[in-house]
């Protein structure tokens, strides 16, 4: 199979590239290296075709889709706080970029597009776990932009019969997640702080919870989605572990694994932050055959190992 991974030099995309090569696909990557890094493709660069370009340019998207069977659309400008600070730039990548990819993939005769959606779409609704039938209530520009992409995916299936599957990722973590960006996720931030001998920062009281999900689970969900029965198309699926941990619990687990017990600094809560997040993953089980392969603690251990090396 010929597959295109947008954002293939990014954290999740580069893991997906490795898995696709392993299953025998011919892989092309489209990435503008704005948040991704060439080093993430060090292991695979000889085996892939790399196009440096942006999904905000429809012409680039069209070129990247030529001859492809499946598109995995991972490219995005992540981070809730970054989108609060600069909603226009993140909108161009996350919303317009997704529309561009859908148009380009449909017109090029691509068979299916699998979209990296976000759990942030649920917002702060009090009911847990989050089920796909709940109304989306995005609380930040990032959440809204990712949700727009999802709705476009559904519409492209309904209007044009173009096969799309949306995967709502719940706080994916693992090796290669960038700790250096000011907008990095909490897990790489905690790990790099502790291993560097610094105090980790907790925004708020640390009682907020997340369904932290090791990257291998997300990669596996993508492989399943690309081959799932067409009944999965036009739909959105939670991709998570179905368990939640507070930041305080997360930090103490990371302290235990690293053996480094530097206490955290507390800063005010971030604007646009969701309080609690937990997924019901039964729909993905039913339609995709998705199951959790690597749990929270094992994932954290593997990630610490990577940070140490
Ligand atoms: C959100 C989405 C997630 C998406 C991500 C992309 C939800 C529930 N999740 O993640 O699916 O992949 O955006 O960017 O909306 N924090 C600290 N200290 C730090 C860094 C973060 O305390 O150094 C806190 C944050 O304030 C937040 C939590 O940790 O409460 C998680 O933050 P982060 O890792 O950035 O992810 P979300 O914003 O939850």
Spacing, Cα 88 to ligand 1 middle (Å):
20
Contacts of 167 (CB under 8 A, 6+ apart): 114, 115, 116, 117, 218, 221, 222, 225, 236, 237, 239, 284
**46 token code pair:** 């000889």
Single out the residue of 211, 221, 215, 243 nearest to residue 287, CA to CA: 221
Q: Is 119 in the pocket of ligand 1 (CB under 6 A)?
A: yes
CA distance 254 to 75: 29
- b/e per residue 15-34 (b: at least 16 CB within 10 A): bbbbebbeeebbbbbbbbee
Q: Is 239 in the pocket of ligand 1 (CB under 6 A)?
A: no
Neighbours of 104 (CB within 10 A): 25
CA distance 65 to 67: 6
CATH code for the part of the protein at 2-173+213-242+279-293: 3.40.50.720
pTM here is 0.98
Domain assignments of the chain as residue spans, ordered by start: 2-173+213-242+279-293
Q: Over its length of 309 residues, how does the chain's per-residue pLDDT go in tens digits? A: 999 999 999 999 999 999 999 999 999 999 999 999 999 999 999 999 999 999 999 999 999 999 999 999 999 999 999 999 999 999 999 999 999 999 999 999 999 999 999 999 999 988 999 999 999 999 999 999 999 999 999 999 999 999 999 999 999 999 999 998 889 999 999 999 999 999 999 999 999 999 999 999 999 999 999 999 999 999 999 999 999 999 999 999 999 999 999 999 999 999 889 999 999 999 999 999 999 999 999 999 999 999 999
Q: Which atom of ligand 1 is nearest to the CA of 119?
A: 11
């Amino acid at each position: 199979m010929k597959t295109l991974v947008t954002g293939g030099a990014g954290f999740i995309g580069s893991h997906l590239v490795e898995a696709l090569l392993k299953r025998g696909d011919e892989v092309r990557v489209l990435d503008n290296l704005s948040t991704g890094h060439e080093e993430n493709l060090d292991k695979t660069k000889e085996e892939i075709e790399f196009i440096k370009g942006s999904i905000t340019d429809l012409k680039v998207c069209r070129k990247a889709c030529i001859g492809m069977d499946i598109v995995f659309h991972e490219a995005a400008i992540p981070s809730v706080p970054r989108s609060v600070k600069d909603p226009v730039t993140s909108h161009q990548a996350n919303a317009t970029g997704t529309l561009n990819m859908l148009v380009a993939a449909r017109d090029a005769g691509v068979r299916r597009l699998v979209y990296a959606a976000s759990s942030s779409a649920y917002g702060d609704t009090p009911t847990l776990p989050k089920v796909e039938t709940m109304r989306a209530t995005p609380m930040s520009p990032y959440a809204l932009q990712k949700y727009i992409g999802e709705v476009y995916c559904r519409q492209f299936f309904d209007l044009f019969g173009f096969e799309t599957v949306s995967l709502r990722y719940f706080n994916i973590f693992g090796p290669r997640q960038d700790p250096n960006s000011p907008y990095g996720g909490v897990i790489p931030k905690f790990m790099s702080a502790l291993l560097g001998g610094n105090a980790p920062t907790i925004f708020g009281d640390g009682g907020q919870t997340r369904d932290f999900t090791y990257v291998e689970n997300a990669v596996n969900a993508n492989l399943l989605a690309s081959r799932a029965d067409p009944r999965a198309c036009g739909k959105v699926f939670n991709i998570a572990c179905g368990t939640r941990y507070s930041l305080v619990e997360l930090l103490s687990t990371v302290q235990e694994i690293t053996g480094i017990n530097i206490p955290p600094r507390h800063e005010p809560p971030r604007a646009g932050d969701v309080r609690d997040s937990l997924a019901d993953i039964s729909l993905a089980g039913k339609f995709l055959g998705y199951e959790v392969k690597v749990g929270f603690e094992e994932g954290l251990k593997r990630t610490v190992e990577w940070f140490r090396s």
